[in-house]
Structure formats: C-alpha cells, structure tokens
Amino acid sequence: MTDAVSKGVDDAKKNLVKVSVAKGTVPHEQIGKFGGALVLLKPAAPGTGVIAGGAMRAVLESVGITDVLAKSKGSSNPHNVVKATIDALVQMRDAIAVSQQRGVAMEKIFEG
C-alpha cells in the first residue's frame, strides 16, 4: 500500500460511527442537515430497495441498508449531501438504545 492510501485508511478508522439498522432499513424517520443540504430518511418495507439519489445512495448502501426511502432537499452539493446523510444516520436510535437511555424495560417502550 502506498503512503497516501494507508494514511487515508488510518484517518477513516478514526472517524467510524455506529449506525442503527433494523431489518435492513432505518429504525425511524430522520432528518439530517449539513450546510445547505437537508436529507430525509424513512423506513421502507422489505423488497423496496434503496430509493435515493447518487451520493446518498452510495452512503446508504455502504452502511448496509437495503430498503429505505430517501429525499434530498436543499443543496445538491454531493459533499454536503453525504455529510447530511451521515448526520441523519448518526442520530438514529434503535429500541434497545432508547430503553437503556431511559432506564426502562423494552416492553415499556412499545406498550407505553
């Protein structure tokens, strides 16, 4: 590996984030913002596929999401769209994370 590639890989490893994926889709609706870009991610039924534009599609597929409805609003600058998509994914929380944060049982989360 060249020095530039190994340096890029090292920098990327420092910026890894955990993303909640529930049954191949996102756990809930979420809006992400960065600069002038605004993206909306919505859960989709199995078999829907990744309904998203270029830059957003690349991010969602690399995360491992197979079914999602996504819409880019605002700026179409690919760099800002990618960062807004990552912002939306980082904000996602699954039911386990919510129950741990609130200190209540999983049944209480779903039954109210």
Q: How far apart are CA 21 and CA 19, in angstroms?
A: 6
* Neighbouring-strand partners of residue 37: 34, 74
Q: Which domains does the chain have, with CATH numbers?
A: 19-111 (3.30.230.10)
Q: In the predicted model, what is the mean pLDDT of the chain?
A: 90
**pLDDT at residue 89 is higher than 80:** yes
Global confidence as pTM: 0.83
Q: Higher pLDDT residue, 6 or 105?
A: 6
What is residue 103's predicted lDDT score, i.e. its pLDDT? 85
**pLDDT at residue 112 is higher than 70:** no
